[in-house]
Amino acid sequence: MSFGEPNNPYGQQPQQPQQPQGQPGYGYPQQAPQGVPPQYGYPQQQPAQPYGAYPQAPQYSQAPMGYGGMPPLAHWGWRVLSRLIDSAVLLGPFYLLSGIGAAIGGSEGSAAATVLGLIGFLYLVFMFFFQIYKEGATGQTIGKRAVGTRTLRESDGRPLGFGMAFVRQLAHFLDGIACYIGYLWPIWDSKKQTFADKVCSTLVIKENG
């Protein structure tokens, strides 16, 4: 016993345990590998895609003339099927409304027939540009999405963008100018391209096998 100091074991302050260096603890970042900045807080989750949202187009890495990283090219039959679906989506409601307007036409129903014809025409214009927008943004129209094909740039495998997708639609004039031979060209062409595809440097690939 020493004099001058109270012999009080309860008066001693316990020492705080030292946390091993580099071990994770509350308020401390997880230890990261050398060269990687530490991560603080809870891991962030990727935002969920809204239900029913149109899927984003995947980016394919393509080598010129080798199609490296690209899915197989869509054969002629898939292209025809997607075209038929797009035509039905585009023209079906237009002809239906026009037919109803013609059926109820006459002096008494002329106003209703005009309204139906105008609605059909507006639908036709809207759906035409909507299809171009979707093909430019994702590579897929409604018909291409249904059959699993996609239109991409030949140079890098990316979607065309609205401007080039619109130009490609105009270039289909070349496919039909000579007895529609351009639409048949993918049957024997090595890249399965129409004349419009060759002018715009685009490929149509087949996903899902």
User: Which two tokens mark 183?
Assistant: 């639409």
pLDDT at 49: 54
d(CA 204, CA 148): 10
pLDDT at 55: 52
Indicate if the pLDDT at residue 108 is higher than 50: yes
pLDDT at 117: 87
Residue type, 54: Y
User: Which two tokens mark 207?
Assistant: 């996903």
pLDDT in tens, 6-32: 555 555 555 555 555 544 444 444 555
Which among 205, 202, 193, 187 has a CA at the least distance from the CA of 70? Answer: 205
**pLDDT confidence bin for 61, thresholds 50/70/90:** very low
pLDDT at 54: 46
79-88, long-range: CB < 8 A, 24+ apart = 79/149, 79/186, 79/192, 79/204, 81/143, 81/147, 82/141, 82/143, 82/144, 82/146, 82/147, 82/149, 83/143, 84/143, 85/142, 85/143, 85/146, 85/147, 86/131, 86/141, 86/142, 86/143, 86/144, 87/143
Average pLDDT on 40-49 reads 51
pLDDT at 150: 96
Which among 189, 133, 140 has a CA at the least distance from the CA of 161? Answer: 133
Phi and psi at 205, nearest 5°, equal: -105, 160
Burial of 19 (0-12, 13-18, 19+ CB in 10 A): exposed
Query: Does residue 110 or residue 86 have the better pLDDT?
Result: 86
Specify the pairing of strand 202-206 against strand 149-153: antiparallel
pLDDT in tens, 126-181: 999 999 999 999 999 999 999 999 999 998 899 999 999 999 999 999 999 988 99
Q: The pTM is what?
A: 0.65
Average pLDDT, the chain: 78
